[in-house]
């Protein structure tokens, strides 16, 4: 079989089974086993597939056919241009979440004060690590303290590994716990992409939702229509006065949840929505 036939034949199988990006999935899996880049796959489309590689590819393909996400099969996922290690203990980083990273970096104003930045529910660490990498590129002489926490010990292990891989392990203090903040500190930026999906809204039999069964439930689902933890976090920030005067909170939410934030927390915060209401920025009212 030629490379081009492998790509066409196997992506057709995925297509017939209702997969959303069949060609890309097959390309990524075959690139992984063959070591050929996507450009190589075009220039070498007429070359015969190596038999050993075909066997390896078929093993990975059968996992994908059962809807295991490509990122888990390959063990990594690109986020903000960086390749993060992922496994079944962490949410696969989503494209929309990259917007939070840019918004945080764009919101930083140099005023001589040390900035405390924390991410609650860090998962793979992709958000806080990407923020650090961008900040280090732009604000060389400026002082920041970075913190990240998660309820999942296994997720934190992945976040720590990623922080080592990207050489920022000495810059982040990790904590484990339920909406955990380090004691006696206030923050300039609090970032959270907490689980916000209502479990009953997902139908695992639908083709485009089958992949979700592989991701950790603790990373995806929450009660009260997905709003429970977001509400708990905002109450905690208010009650424990965790935000500095000019500080901001950045949240990724489900569509519609920003209205609830406005209803329930409008007295405390000025609230702006971005990216089709999926990212919410809150600033304490003075
Ligand atoms: C939607 S994932 C986000 C992961 C990562 N920040 C990202 O954007 O890709 C939510 C994360 O929140 C964590 N989490 C769930 N409940 C939590 C809680 N009560 N306190 C802290 N973290 C929690 C999960 O373990 C998971 O890693």
267 in the same domain as 166: yes
22 lines ligand 1 (CB under 6 A): no
End-to-end CA distance of the chain: 68
61 in the same domain as 197: no
What pLDDT was estimated at residue 23? 97
Tell me if 60 is assigned to some domain. yes
- All residues at 6 or more sequence positions from 53 whose CB lies less than 8 Å from its CB, including other chains: 30, 33, 34
Look at the pTM and tell me if it is higher than 0.75.
Answer: yes
- Residue-wise pLDDT tens digits, 14-23: 999 999 999 9
CA-proximal residue: ligand 1, atom 24 (nearest): 219
pLDDT surpassing 70 at residue 92: yes
126 in the same domain as 56: no
- Residue-wise pLDDT tens digits, 171-203: 999 999 999 999 999 999 999 999 999 999 999
> Ligand 1 pocket: which of 102, 123, 214, 237 to mutate (most atoms <8 Å of CB)?
123
Euclidean distance between CA atoms 70 and 73, whole angstroms: 5
157 in the same domain as 23: no
Euclidean distance between CA atoms 101 and 53, whole angstroms: 38
What pLDDT was estimated at residue 137? 79
What pLDDT was estimated at residue 286? 77
Tell me if 198 is assigned to some domain. yes
Assign 133 a pLDDT band (cuts: 50, 70, 90).
very high
126 lines ligand 1 (CB under 6 A): yes
Mean pLDDT over each residue of the chain, to the nearest integer: 95
Tell me if 15 is assigned to some domain. yes
Looking at the CA of residue 179, tell me the nearest atom of ligand 1: 20
Tell me if 71 is assigned to some domain. no
What's the CA-to-centroid distance between 4 and ligand 1, angstroms? Answer: 40
At 175 the three-state DSSP class reads strand
- Residue-wise pLDDT tens digits, 139-151: 665 689 999 999 9
Looking at the CA of residue 123, tell me the nearest atom of ligand 1: 27
Euclidean distance between CA atoms 177 and 190, whole angstroms: 16
223 lines ligand 1 (CB under 6 A): no
226 lines ligand 1 (CB under 6 A): no
48 in the same domain as 127: no
Which DSSP symbol is given to 199? G
270 in the same domain as 181: yes
178 in the same domain as 129: yes
What pLDDT was estimated at residue 201? 92
122 lines ligand 1 (CB under 6 A): yes
98 in the same domain as 59: no
pLDDT surpassing 90 at residue 233: yes
- Residue-wise pLDDT tens digits, 74-85: 999 999 999 999
Tell me if 93 is assigned to some domain. yes
- All residues at 6 or more sequence positions from 80 whose CB lies less than 8 Å from its CB, including other chains: 98, 101, 126, 130, 133, 134
Tell me if 77 is assigned to some domain. no
Backbone phi, psi, residue 83, to 5°:
-95, 105
Tell me if 72 is assigned to some domain. no
144 in the same domain as 43: no
What's the CA-to-centroid distance between 123 and ligand 1, angstroms? Answer: 5
Which DSSP symbol is given to 2? B
Residue 202 belongs to a domain with what CATH number?
3.40.50.150
Looking at the CA of residue 90, tell me the nearest atom of ligand 1: 27
Tell me if 213 is assigned to some domain. yes
Split into its structural domains, the chain has a count of 2
- Residue-wise pLDDT tens digits, 245-284: 989 999 999 999 999 999 999 999 999 999 999 999 999 9
51 in the same domain as 94: no
- Listed residues 66, 96, 120: the one ending a domain: 66
What's the CA-to-centroid distance between 43 and ligand 1, angstroms? Answer: 42
24 in the same domain as 132: no
Supply the range of the domain harboring residue 204. 87-284
232 in the same domain as 98: yes
Euclidean distance between CA atoms 70 and 65, whole angstroms: 10
What pLDDT was estimated at residue 184? 95
Euclidean distance between CA atoms 180 and 214, whole angstroms: 26
Which DSSP symbol is given to 158? H
HSE-up of 34 (CA within 13 Å, CB side)? 26
What's the CA-to-centroid distance between 114 and ligand 1, angstroms? Answer: 26
């Amino acid at each position: 079989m030629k490379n081009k036939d492998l790509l066409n034949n196997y992506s057709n199988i995925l297509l017939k089974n209702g997969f959303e990006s069949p060609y890309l999935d097959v390309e990524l899996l075959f690139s992984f086993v063959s070591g050929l880049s996507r450009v190589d796959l075009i220039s070498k489309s007429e070359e015969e597939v190596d038999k050993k590689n075909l066997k390896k590819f078929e093993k990975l393909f059968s996992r994908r056919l059962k809807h295991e996400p490509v990122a888990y099969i390959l063990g990594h996922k690109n986020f903000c241009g960086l390749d993060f290690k992922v496994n079944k203990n962490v949410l696969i980083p989503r494209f929309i979440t990259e917007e939070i990273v840019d918004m945080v970096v764009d919101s930083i104003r140099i005023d001589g004060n040390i900035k405390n930045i924390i991410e609650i529910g860090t998962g793979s660490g992709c958000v806080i690590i990407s923020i650090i990498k961008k900040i280090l590129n732009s604000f060389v002489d400026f002082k920041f303290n970075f913190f990240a926490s998660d309820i999942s010990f296994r997720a934190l292990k992945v976040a720590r590994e990623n922080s080592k891989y990207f050489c920022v392990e000495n810059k982040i203090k990790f904590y484990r716990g339920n909406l955990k903040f380090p004691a006696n500190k206030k923050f300039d930026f609090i970032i959270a992409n907490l689980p916000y999906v209502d479990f009953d809204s997902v139908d695992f039999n639908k083709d485009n939702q089958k992949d979700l069964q592989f991701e950790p439930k603790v990373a995806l689902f929450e009660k009260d229509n997905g709003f429970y933890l977001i509400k708990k976090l905002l109450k905690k920030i208010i009650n424990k006065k965790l935000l500095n005067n000019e500080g901001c909170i950045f949240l990724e939410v489900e569509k519609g949840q920003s209205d609830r934030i406005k209803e329930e927390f409008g007295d405390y915060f000025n609230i702006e929505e971005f990216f089709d209401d999926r990212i919410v920025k809150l600033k304490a009212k003075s």
